[in-house]
Amino acid sequence: MTSQVPTTLFADPVSEERLERTAAALAEHGFAVEILDDATAARARVRELIPEGATVFTSASETTRLSGIEEDINTSGRYEALKPVVLGMDRATQADEIRRLLASPDVVIGSVAAVTETGSMVVASASGSQLPPYSGGAGKAIWIVGAQKVVPDLDTAMRRLEEHTLPLENVRAQAVYGKPSHINRLLIMNAEPFPGRATVILLREAIGF
């Protein structure tokens, strides 16, 4: 039966008990999981997790932008940041090169639309650029997830995506790209088959969409 979660609660952080239950389920499914207090702690932890000189793709994420993680990676000079490189390339004549660069970096970092207490994560995308590295193309994946993104099950995850995340992403997309966003591609990650590849950092605070 689908859990009845009021839409307004999709913006509220869940309890410590629910965070711990979610972390345990993710760990059982092969993800490395950490629970940290806030974005400041996540920012410091990411610096420890990513080796200097690694090629890193920061996928579009309000969580990593608001936390300062995106800026750290793309402007610090510690890493081979792919986003600044890609933004300087011609999408009409270098589309294949862009696709290859983004599909298999050493590290991809971003967030998800929802994570379930049963140990699954849901990602939606208009372009699909982050899905290949998320699903297996990147050597390592790191997801920073605010406590408001925890939901009981996949049915509720889809509700959160459609009723909460997409409307907010539409506003962002209109401001940045001049057009609305769409759920064109959907990725559900139920498990991580390669130990040590994927890290989920759950925060006790709400951040992002």
- For residue 110, the model assigns a pLDDT of 98
- For residue 9, the model assigns a pLDDT of 76
The 10s digit of each residue's pLDDT in 164-185 is: 999 999 998 888 888 889 999 9
**CATH for 31-203, options being 3.40.50.10420, 3.30.1330.180, 3.90.1260.10, 3.20.20.20:** 3.40.50.10420
Q: Which class for 205: exposed (0-12), middle (13-18), buried (19 or more C-beta within 10 A)?
A: middle
Place of tokens 């920061």: 58
For a pLDDT cut of 90, what percent of the chain falls above it?
90
Q: Does 3 have pLDDT greater than 80?
A: no
- For residue 75, the model assigns a pLDDT of 96
Question: Do residues 37 and 43 make contact, with C-beta atoms less than 8 angstroms apart?
Answer: no
The 10s digit of each residue's pLDDT in 88-107 is: 999 889 999 999 999 999 99
- For residue 1, the model assigns a pLDDT of 39
- For residue 138, the model assigns a pLDDT of 98
- For residue 177, the model assigns a pLDDT of 84
- For residue 66, the model assigns a pLDDT of 97
Q: Does 4 have pLDDT greater than 60?
A: no
- For residue 8, the model assigns a pLDDT of 57
pTM, 2 dp: 0.94
The whole-chain average pLDDT of the chain stands at: 94
| Pairing relationship of beta strands 121-125 and 114-116 according to DSSP bridges | antiparallel
Domain range list for the chain: 31-203
The 10s digit of each residue's pLDDT in 5-47 is: 545 579 999 999 999 999 999 999 999 999 999 999 999 999 9
Mention every residue, 6+ apart, whose C-beta is less than 8 A from residue 106.
Answer: 51, 54, 55, 56, 138, 139, 140
The 10s digit of each residue's pLDDT in 110-147 is: 999 999 999 999 999 999 999 999 999 999 999 999 99
- For residue 5, the model assigns a pLDDT of 52
